[in-house]
Chain A
Amino acid sequence: MTLSWTVGEPIKDTKAPSGPIEERWDTRRFQAKLVNPANKRKLTVIVVGTGLAGGSAAATLGELGYKVKSFCYQDSPRRAHSIAAQGGINAAKNYRGDGDSIHRLFYDTVKGGDFRARESNVYRLAQVSVNIIDQAVAQGVPFAREYGGLLDTRSFGGAQVSRTFYARGQTGQQLLLGAYQALERQIAAGTVEMNTRHEMLELVVSDGRARGIVVRDLVTGEVETHLADAVVLATGGYGNVFFLSTNAKGCNTTAIWRAHRKGAMFANPCYTQIHPTCIPVSGEYQSKLTLMSESLRNDGRVWVPLRKGDDRVPADIPEDERDYYLERIYPAFGNLVPRDIASRAAKNVCDEGRGVGPGGLGVYLDFADAIARLGRGAVEKKYGNLFEMYERITGENPYETPMRIYPAVHYTMGGLWVDYDLQSTIPGLFVIGEANFSDHGANRLGASALMQGLADGYFVLPTTLGDYLAGAGGFGEVDEAEVAQAQAAVQEKIDRLLAVNGTRTADSYHRELGRLMWDYCGMERTDASLRKALERIPELREEFWNNVKVPGDDEGLNQALERAGRVADFFDLAELMCLDALHRTESCGGHFRAESQDADGEALRDDEHFAYVGAWEWSPEGPILHKEELEYEYVKMTQRSYK
């Protein structure tokens, strides 16, 4: 049975000012009410998550003088998965004088997002991008530099200007440590109270406003409620719904899903980014996938054997029996086509039976030409750490034999719906970073995630949150019945999970759900595949709730219990993702509906019917779709072409 859904009233962002796009953020900042410094000390803000968005937001709010309570499930705020971002961060500095500008970064982002993002937000992101680099450098982030002492940049992900700042292959790590250090400074100053190894399991809504959260102390097992004047969710993406992804093992949807169940709309859940260059799956025990930086495609050539089922080692396959398919299909961009296109092309050749490696789910990324042209030393200098990482995981030496790569789930563009102020449909609940539906439309450009997380946390939220808090003039006491109900709901779920005592582990259900999502709601979606998923997910969920085995009890550290709770929410989210994908019969960005492609097999948008954000409201009778129409005043909608 397919989940039934209805269409509700349209939704609209009312916070972005009108007028010339270059002036909107300035106007909004001027309009935003200020909180008097003495009053800031009396206002408490909860920030959940300590990645680039949450870490920078908590630190900045602390600097401003608010009382901040920060939460993360890891043992230290420095562990958040932003740390794993490799490539770099975009900023419209135009230090190269190569024609970059705020307008160009804005334009590239709107186009790259396949015209499914809000113009005002994206323009602001491009404006703020320059401040992020200044901030990071001042904090001591050791970006790559030229011999003259100035910052180095590179071109990334098909951009024609060199606007990506980087710190070798560890840009995310360095930026996160910058935010983490700023956060620790505020913890020492007493403005931020840090709660590590605490997981948010419920949102407290009182009198229509977000006023707190229920968390589980993962060490003692205690369920606690924390109250505040506003709640900020910076809990990242939900790519782990696929079980295998490049996300950290702990990444989950619980915080945003619980908020969704309490009234926050969930926008564009089906927009998933599949990254083309990851190390393929090696066996059934596989616990996660590792990304190899996209920069490898600058010098590596992607190919598969011309002939189906050719199982010769790559060195034995002569040049004329190889298919460099990206260069063949996309002669202009070749191996540098955008992520979604490269991913789908890899899937297609593997579906034809020409994939390589275990299970035939891989394609070669070959550096032989680059080594011949540049010398091994030069290749090592550029990619040495990546080659080492590859060898450590696969046991194969990429200097001698081509790498094997395959696409993997990497990022989710969808998330909780927010207005220009980053406020969700629950007053007082703000959502930042990957957790919101963000500025990336249907496809995120490389090196833009770090930019958005830090823009939200350092610069946007601290302004807009002040406007909310100043306007309220005190929210009154939190309804005790709401607190009791939220806490009871959390305890009830824990008790229920522990009571089943069935015959399968939560991980085994998660794996099965992930496989199902990958097969039916992955790189290519069809009406039939999505209907099949929508039939199967509720069955599997029911089996989970009747047959899962969660060992131990709720007292003290119980990692299996933590995982089971997350899997339970992934089931519900998976269903909404499939429904969103089913209703959006067009292809756009990371969402490819096989029914909607042009004669060349490229994604075909349907702007007449789908130029909107699909924001879903939860209701007991089934999801309600609210459409936010997207208008393009500054960028003309065109069909992307990379041929």
Chain B
Amino acid sequence: MSERATSTGKAGMNLTLKIWRQNGSSDRGRMVTYEVKDVSPDMSFLEMLDVLNERLTLEGDDPVAFDHDCREGICGMCGMVINGVAHGEQRATTTCQLHMRHFEDGATVTIEPWRAAPFPVVKDLVVDRSAFDRIIQAGGFISVPAGSAPDAHAVPVPKDDADAAFDAATCIGCGACVAACPNGSASLFTAAKITHLGLLPQGQPERASRAKAMVEQMDAEGFGGCTNTGECTAVCPKGIPLDAIARMNADYLKTASK
């Protein structure tokens, strides 16, 4: 809505994009090169792709498919491997919150989908993450039908526990942890939910069965095991800490030894 394009005063950039194109899950897929000109540093990464897609559409080409929705870093729908790093090199940032001012004029940028066998490619950069929903279905909840709850103050929760539970609960389910892991493990995602619910008094009755069911579902989906490389937490946009995984293992072992 304005004449002026940038607030930082940096001029438009020219970039070479190498984007993974794959027409459906059975297609082999390939990298395709696109030149984009006059990219404003104030654009978000996805806005840069919007501009490319507008051009491709008018030129009669197939626009690049990518998932996105809220574009404010919370819905967890967007996610691309940018220059080899899930969500790009800027820490604690989803793809939609990454801005072009972090790129250099003339740079080449590679863009790929999450790559993991349990996340099959739907098209281009869009993958199927329904395995995550099935892990939650296995036990990522507290069983409390609507209307059955006691007064909210019936059970006090120590502030430290509530805060630590919150930290784990901020997981947005984007799948970057899986994409970054050399083993394709979903441990950080699964552990975040086990930690969130396991730290609260309300989560205790189902704590053991939850950990067991969720870990088994994670394995059944074909995600790899955790070898503590820590790549997951490094790319996590919400900074879910690695010690959540230790907690998950402890809860799981307790059930296994019974």
Residues of A near any B CB (own CB < 8 A)? 56, 59-60, 63, 74-81, 83-84, 93, 95, 131, 133-140, 142-151, 167-168, 170, 173-174, 177, 180-182, 184-185, 187-188, 194, 196, 219, 244, 246, 248-250, 281-288, 290-291, 357-361, 389, 392-396, 458-459, 462, 503, 505, 507-508, 515, 549, 551-552, 556-557, 559-560
Is the Cβ of A83 less than 8 Å from the Cβ of B203?
A: no
Known A74-B69, A248-B75; judge A188-B156 contact (CB<8 A): no
User: With A and B bound together, what is the CA distance between A219 and B144 in angstroms?
Assistant: 34
A-B interface pairs (CB < 8 A), number: 253
Some 26 contacts from A to B, beta carbons below 8 A apart, are A63-B146, A74-B69, A79-B69, A79-B75, A140-B196, A142-B162, A142-B169, A145-B157, A173-B74, A182-B144, A185-B137, A188-B138, A246-B72, A282-B7, A283-B43, A287-B44, A288-B72, A359-B2, A361-B2, A389-B73, A395-B7, A458-B146, A505-B58, A515-B1, A549-B57, A557-B126
User: With A and B bound together, what is the CA distance between A367 and B153 in angstroms?
Assistant: 35
Task: Give chain A nearest CB distance to B234 CB in angstroms.
Answer: 18
Q: Which residues of B contact A288 (CB under 8 A)?
A: 71-72
**Nearest residue, chain A, Cβ from B60:** A551
| 6 nearest A-B residue pairs (beta carbon) | A359-B2, A149-B156, A138-B149, A181-B141, A142-B166, A188-B137
Is the Cβ of A557 less than 8 Å from the Cβ of B65?
A: yes
Is the Cβ of B1 less than 8 Å from the Cβ of A76?
A: no
User: With A and B bound together, what is the CA distance between A60 and B156 in angstroms?
Assistant: 26
Question: How does the 8 Å CB contact mask read for B135-160 relative to A, with 1 for contact and 0 for none?
Answer: 01110111111111111110111110
User: With A and B bound together, what is the CA distance between A83 and B72 in angstroms?
Assistant: 10
User: With A and B bound together, what is the CA distance between A177 and B189 in angstroms?
Assistant: 14
Is the Cβ of A177 less than 8 Å from the Cβ of B169?
A: yes
Is the Cβ of B162 less than 8 Å from the Cβ of A76?
A: no
User: With A and B bound together, what is the CA distance between A244 and B153 in angstroms?
Assistant: 41
Is the Cβ of A138 less than 8 Å from the Cβ of B144?
A: yes
Q: Does B130 contact A (CB under 8 A)?
A: yes
Q: Does B132 contact A (CB under 8 A)?
A: yes
Q: Does B245 contact A (CB under 8 A)?
A: no
Is the Cβ of A140 less than 8 Å from the Cβ of B93?
A: no
Q: Which residues of B contact A552 (CB under 8 A)?
A: 62
User: With A and B bound together, what is the CA distance between A284 and B38 in angstroms?
Assistant: 13
> Among the listed B2, B63, B128, B155, which residue makes an inter-chain contact with A559, where contact means beta carbons less than 8 Å apart?
B63
Q: Which residues of A contact B74 (CB under 8 A)?
A: 83-84, 170, 173
User: With A and B bound together, what is the CA distance between A507 and B99 in angstroms?
Assistant: 21
Is the Cβ of B197 less than 8 Å from the Cβ of A140?
A: yes
Is the Cβ of B165 less than 8 Å from the Cβ of A142?
A: yes
Known A173-B170, A283-B43; judge A84-B70 contact (CB<8 A): yes
Task: Give chain A nearest CB distance to B101 CB in angstroms.
Answer: 5
Is the Cβ of A137 less than 8 Å from the Cβ of B149?
A: yes
Question: How does the 8 Å CB contact mask read for B13-35 relative to A, with 1 for contact and 0 for none?
Answer: 00000000001100000000000
Is the Cβ of B140 less than 8 Å from the Cβ of A83?
A: no
User: With A and B bound together, what is the CA distance between A449 and B60 in angstroms?
Assistant: 42
Question: How does the 8 Å CB contact mask read for B41-66 relative to A, with 1 for contact and 0 for none?
Answer: 11110111011011011101111010
Is the Cβ of B47 less than 8 Å from the Cβ of A79?
A: no
- Central interface residue in B73, B128, B141, by most chain A CB within 10 Å: B141
**Nearest residue, chain B, Cβ from A134:** B149
Known A79-B76, A142-B166, A557-B123; judge A133-B7 contact (CB<8 A): no
Q: Which residues of A contact B76 (CB under 8 A)?
A: 76, 78-79
Known A139-B141, A287-B46; judge A559-B65 contact (CB<8 A): yes
Task: Give chain A nearest CB distance to B172 CB in angstroms.
Answer: 8
Q: Which residues of A contact B153 (CB under 8 A)?
A: 95, 150-151
Q: Which residues of B contact A146 (CB under 8 A)?
A: 159
Q: Interface majority SS on B: helix, strand, loop or mixed? A: loop
Known A76-B133, A137-B152, A170-B74; judge A182-B141 contact (CB<8 A): yes
Task: Give chain B nearest CB distance to A132 CB in angstroms.
Answer: 9
Q: Which residues of B contact A459 (CB under 8 A)?
A: 146-147
**Nearest residue, chain A, Cβ from B169:** A142
User: With A and B bound together, what is the CA distance between A390 and B122 in angstroms?
Assistant: 33
- Central interface residue in A83, A138, A395, A515, by most chain B CB within 10 Å: A138
Q: Which residues of A contact B150 (CB under 8 A)?
A: 134, 138
Known A75-B130, A76-B130; judge A393-B54 contact (CB<8 A): no
User: With A and B bound together, what is the CA distance between A133 and B154 in angstroms?
Assistant: 12
Task: Give chain A nearest CB distance to B56 CB in angstroms.
Answer: 8
Q: Does B68 contact A (CB under 8 A)?
A: yes
Q: Which residues of B contact A174 (CB under 8 A)?
A: 166, 169
> Among the listed B54, B101, B126, B132, which residue makes an inter-chain contact with A507, where contact means beta carbons less than 8 Å apart?
B54
Is the Cβ of A167 less than 8 Å from the Cβ of B166?
A: yes
Known A151-B153, A248-B69; judge A551-B62 contact (CB<8 A): yes
Q: Which residues of B contact A515 (CB under 8 A)?
A: 1
Is the Cβ of B123 less than 8 Å from the Cβ of A139?
A: no
User: With A and B bound together, what is the CA distance between A180 and B75 in angstroms?
Assistant: 13
Q: Which residues of B contact A246 (CB under 8 A)?
A: 72
**Nearest residue, chain A, Cβ from B162:** A145
Is the Cβ of B7 less than 8 Å from the Cβ of A396?
A: yes
Known A508-B54, A551-B60; judge A359-B1 contact (CB<8 A): yes
**Nearest residue, chain A, Cβ from B46:** A287
User: With A and B bound together, what is the CA distance between A77 and B47 in angstroms?
Assistant: 25
Is the Cβ of A551 less than 8 Å from the Cβ of B146?
A: no
Q: Does B67 contact A (CB under 8 A)?
A: yes
> Among the listed B40, B68, B133, which residue makes an inter-chain contact with A249, where contact means beta carbons less than 8 Å apart?
B68
Task: Give chain B nearest CB distance to A530 CB in angstroms.
Answer: 20
Question: How does the 8 Å CB contact mask read for B67-99 relative to A, with 1 for contact and 0 for none?
Answer: 111111111110000000000000001000101
Q: Does B202 contact A (CB under 8 A)?
A: yes
Known A81-B75, A140-B200, A359-B2; judge A393-B157 contact (CB<8 A): no
User: With A and B bound together, what is the CA distance between A357 and B3 in angstroms?
Assistant: 11
Q: Which residues of A contact B133 (CB under 8 A)?
A: 76-78, 184, 187, 194, 196
User: With A and B bound together, what is the CA distance between A508 and B48 in angstroms?
Assistant: 15
Is the Cβ of B145 less than 8 Å from the Cβ of A63?
A: yes
Task: Give chain A nearest CB distance to B248 CB in angstroms.
Answer: 16
Q: Does B4 contact A (CB under 8 A)?
A: yes
Question: How does the 8 Å CB contact mask read for B198-221 relative to A, with 1 for contact and 0 for none?
Answer: 001011000000000000000000
User: With A and B bound together, what is the CA distance between A452 and B134 in angstroms?
Assistant: 29
Is the Cβ of B71 less than 8 Å from the Cβ of A505?
A: no
User: With A and B bound together, what is the CA distance between A507 and B155 in angstroms?
Assistant: 51
Q: Does B117 contact A (CB under 8 A)?
A: no
Is the Cβ of B8 less than 8 Å from the Cβ of A395?
A: yes
User: With A and B bound together, what is the CA distance between A136 and B157 in angstroms?
Assistant: 14
- Central interface residue in B41, B69, B128, B158, by most chain A CB within 10 Å: B69
Q: Which residues of B contact A147 (CB under 8 A)?
A: 159
Q: Does B11 contact A (CB under 8 A)?
A: no
Is the Cβ of B1 less than 8 Å from the Cβ of A551?
A: no
User: With A and B bound together, what is the CA distance between A248 and B70 in angstroms?
Assistant: 4
Known A392-B99, A395-B7; judge A74-B137 contact (CB<8 A): no
Is the Cβ of B24 less than 8 Å from the Cβ of A556?
A: yes
Is the Cβ of B146 less than 8 Å from the Cβ of A60?
A: yes
User: With A and B bound together, what is the CA distance between A147 and B67 in angstroms?
Assistant: 41
Is the Cβ of B169 less than 8 Å from the Cβ of A143?
A: no
Is the Cβ of B57 less than 8 Å from the Cβ of A134?
A: no
Known A75-B67, A76-B132; judge A84-B72 contact (CB<8 A): yes
Q: Which residues of A contact B101 (CB under 8 A)?
A: 395
Is the Cβ of B71 less than 8 Å from the Cβ of A395?
A: no
Q: Does B129 contact A (CB under 8 A)?
A: yes
**Nearest residue, chain A, Cβ from B51:** A285
Is the Cβ of A140 less than 8 Å from the Cβ of B97?
A: no
Contacting residues of chain B (157-197) with chain A, CB-CB under 8 angstroms = 157-159, 162-163, 165-166, 169-170, 172-173, 196-197
Known A140-B197, A151-B153, A196-B130; judge A75-B77 contact (CB<8 A): yes
User: With A and B bound together, what is the CA distance between A560 and B65 in angstroms?
Assistant: 9
> Among the listed B41, B53, B70, B157, which residue makes an inter-chain contact with A81, where contact means beta carbons less than 8 Å apart?
B70
User: With A and B bound together, what is the CA distance between A462 and B157 in angstroms?
Assistant: 30
Is the Cβ of B42 less than 8 Å from the Cβ of A283?
A: yes
